[in-house]
Chain A
Amino acid sequence: MTKYDAIVIGAGHNGLTNAAYLARAGLKVLVVERNPWIGGAAVSREIEKGWMYSNCSYVCSLLRPELFRDLELARHGLQVVPYGGGVSITSNGDILGNYTHEEVQRREFARHNPRDADAYDRYSTDVMRQCKFIRPMLLRTPPDPTSFKPRDLKEMIFLGKELKKFGEQFIYDTLRFYSMSIADFLNEYFESDTIKCHLSGSGIIGSAMGVYSPGTAYVLLHHYMGDVDGSIGAWGFARGGMGAVSKSIANALKSFGGEIVVDAPVRQVIVKGGRVAGVATENGTEYYADVVVSNLDPRRTYTKIFDPKDLPPVIVEKAKNWKIRGSSGKLNIALDGLPEFPALGKDNPLAFGDIHFLDSLEKMERAYDDWKNGTWSKEPYLDLLIPSMTDPTMAPPGKHFMSVFVQYVPPFIHGREWTDADREGFKNTVLDQIGRYSPNFRSLVRHVECRTPRELEAEVGLTEGNIFHGELTMDQLLFNRPFPGYAQYRGPIRGFYMCGSGTHPGGGVMSAPGANAAREILMDLGRPNIVPEGWSDD
Chain B
Amino acid sequence: MHTPEPTGIDLSRFDADALAQLSAGAPAAVRAQRAAAFELFSALPVPAARDEEWRHSPAKLFPLADFQLAASPRASNAAQTADGRDDFDAVIEIGDELFNIQNRSASLGILPLAEALATLPANVLTTKRKFAALGQAFWTAGFFIRARAGAPVRLLVNWRFTADGKLHVPRLVVAVEPDAQLILVERFQGLETETASFSKDWKSETALAVIGAHEFHVGEGAKLERVALHEWSASTLCIAEDAAVVAGRGRADWVTAVLGGRAVKLAAGCDVAGAGAVAHLSGLYFAGGTQHVDQRTVQRHSSPDTTSHLLYKGAVRDQSHSIYQGLIQAARGAVRVDAYQMNRNLVLNEGARADSLPALEIDADDLKCSHGSATGSLDPEQIFYLRARGIAEAEARRLLIAAYFEEVIGKVSHAGVQDRLRAAVAQKMETLS
Q: Do A and B come from one complex?
A: no
Binding site for B on A (CB under 8 A): none
Binding site for A on B (CB under 8 A): none
